[in-house]
Amino acid sequence: MTADLIDGKEFAASVRAKVAEHVATLKEVHGLTPGLAVVLVGEDPASQVYVRNKGKQTIECGMNSYEHKLSADTTQEDLLALLDQLNADPAVHGILVQLPLPGHLNEDLVINRIDPAKDVDGFHISNVGLLATGQKAMVPCTPLGCLMMLRDRHGSLSGMNAVVVGRSNIVGKPMGQLLLRDSCTVTIAHSRTKNIEEICKQADILVAAVGRPQMITGDWVKPGATVIDVGINRIDKPEGGTRLVGDVDFDSAAAVAGAITPVPGGVGPMTIACLLANTLTACCRANDLPEPEGLTA
């Protein structure tokens, strides 16, 4: 391996420490405690683990955590009524509705009911538009985490060729917008892209967010490029059992890249750290206080 390893676990711990420091100051100087409400509908086991981790880390950095666990047969009306209540609650600065929702609920309608100022996921249509037009938005957590790691490695990203593989609303599209805002030349590639390998090979920054295990191999990577792997895929091991891999074939890519994030321990831990950063930012904005430096896009 020739690439430098970008340690997301360590980076996320440093982001959480910065958040905790700001939270302590907010309490001391302004008597304010940021609050994050997480809404979970149903009993999806993976979602339950995420929500537990979110709650734990929220409390660890000194914020208030409010968990609302609703049964799988909750009606849309009841869920919207809860969001109205959280929107009106001054102790709640951030609201996250854990996705996916059970099939009978309309995700777009639910997400767009959240007050955009409290939308710490950055999924509300207003925040999507604000980001796309270069205005002050709440930015989705995973792309924000990727951006922080890229800025940390490169300082300015201006003029770099960035290729994002994947066009999801949660990662690919907002990642492209953020890189464009930092003056990269951005290509968003996807399953229908022609000559995808050649396009990836032009990238100084390559972000993989397609959800296909180990799709991007070393021969797709420009020597010295920075490779950010957002994928989390579980695959069978030849000897039995399973293991987590990214969208990048780590070993072959790491032999060519200048820097690379591992899976697990790369982008993953940054997502919750950025959720906490967004909650702090939302609290500062709600109270007309300066935003925490280095924790926003």
Active site residue 121: yes
Q: Which residues bind ligand GUN (CB under 6 A)?
A: 96-99, 121, 141, 271
Q: DSSP of 32-96, one letter per residue?
A: ---EEEEEEES--HHHHHHHHHHHHHHHHTT-EEEEEEE-TT--HHHHHHHHHHHHH-TT--EEE
Q: How far is the CB of 215 from ligand GUN (least distance, A)?
A: 20
The nearer residue to ligand GUN, 146 or 254, going by C-beta atoms, is 146
Cβ-closest position to ligand GUN:
99
Q: How far is the CB of 100 from ligand GUN (least distance, A)?
A: 7
The nearer residue to ligand GUN, 37 or 97, going by C-beta atoms, is 97
Helix (H) or strand (E) holding 12, with range, is: helix 8-30
Q: How far is the CB of 220 from ligand GUN (least distance, A)?
A: 26
The nearer residue to ligand GUN, 97 or 206, going by C-beta atoms, is 97
User: Coil, strand, or helix at residue 148?
Assistant: helix
Q: Which residues contact 124 (CB under 8 A, 6 or more apart)?
A: 111, 112, 114, 116, 138
Active site residue 98: yes
Integer Cα distance of 79 and 97 in angstroms: 10
Q: How far is the CB of 294 from ligand GUN (least distance, A)?
A: 21
The nearer residue to ligand GUN, 92 or 254, going by C-beta atoms, is 92
Active site (catalytic) residues? 54, 98, 121
